[in-house]
Amino acid sequence: MYQEKLQQRIQVGINEGRWSAQTTLDHFALINYTLPAERLRPLIPERFDIPTLEIGGESRAFISAVPFIDRDFQFPNISPSPRYQFGQINYRAYIVDKTTGEDVVWFFGTVLGSHWYNLPRRLWKMPWHRGEFDTEFKVSRTGNYQTYRIHIHSSWGKARIELHDTAEAVTIAEGFESVSHMKLFLTHPIEGFYYRTNGKLGTYRVWHPEMILTNGKAEYLYFQPFEDLKLLSPQEMRHPHSVFICPEILFKVELPPKEV
């Protein structure tokens, strides 16, 4: 059932209009945390439900930090279409849109390692912020990471990410029924929502193929935005529910975003 629904989402695609973007994400990591839903509820509009899974005998909601490097960000339907490279991290929560019943994500904010953060912020009022990315990646001959390190300095919130790559294909993490269930829930919501800088609700859609993931482990993790939002303590951040690593993945983004 879950694998079938996963394939359906992949087949849907997006509307690849004039402003839609395409990029290859390198060094993609999905760092997942669980927390009591009541801690998350004040930050999520009433339009959305907060799904929970049983983790350690308790009902827990999910949030994630998602760092990566945009290798060749471009607008392929605009000519000429220069390509850009920069670091990026998204901070998000997993929610359900009551109007459609679909799993979606809520974006608290994004930090971009480029002055181009101003384009989505000023043009589309997206909650994007400027940051400096200090990165180190070393990959073995077998393709797994010997070093995975990202340090982010931003006035909106610094972050420190140091991971160990087990090189093992993802296995079922606690709370999920299968790997397909886990991928559907954590890697394949295709619509995101957020508060625009004018306080109104915004949304956009993405497309990507099924991710080939390995299990990662935290060597050191800290995300100031999660602390500032009172979602996680620094100690809780050291112990994620799960960490997934994908060295390379194609992403398409339906733009411009829409105001709801």
How far from each other are the two terminal CA atoms of the chain, in whole angstroms? 31
3-state SS class at 137: strand
3-state SS class at 44: coil
**DSSP secondary structure letter of residue 74:** B
**pLDDT for position 81:** 78
3-state SS class at 234: helix
Find tokens 């945390």 and name the residue.
Answer: 33
Quick check: 64 and 186 in contact, CB under 8 A?
yes
234: CB partners within 8 A, 6+ apart: 222, 227
Q: Does domain 2-259 have CATH number 2.40.400.10?
A: yes
Find tokens 């995975």 and name the residue.
Answer: 148
**pLDDT for position 80:** 80
**pLDDT for position 12:** 85
Is this structure's pTM higher than 0.85?
yes
CA 259, CA 103: separation in Å to the nearest integer?
19
DSSP string, 15-26: ---TT-EEEEEE
CA 63, CA 108: separation in Å to the nearest integer?
10
- And the tokens for 228? 């500032």
User: C-alpha distances in angstroms, 88 versus 7, 39, 198, 227, 236?
Assistant: 27, 26, 23, 19, 23
**Residue 147, Cα to own-chain centre: how many angstroms?**
21
CA 220, CA 231: separation in Å to the nearest integer?
18
- pLDDT digit string (tens) for the chain, length 260 residues: 899 988 989 998 888 888 899 999 999 999 999 999 999 999 999 999 999 999 999 999 999 999 999 999 999 888 887 898 999 999 999 999 999 999 999 999 999 999 989 989 999 999 999 999 999 999 988 888 999 999 999 999 999 999 999 999 999 999 999 999 999 999 999 999 999 999 999 999 999 999 999 999 999 999 999 999 999 999 999 999 999 999 999 999 999 999 99
**pLDDT for position 13:** 82
**pLDDT for position 127:** 97
Which long-range CB contacts under 8 A does 4-8 form with residues at least 24 apart?
5/184, 6/180, 6/183, 6/184, 6/188, 6/210, 7/210
**pLDDT for position 152:** 98
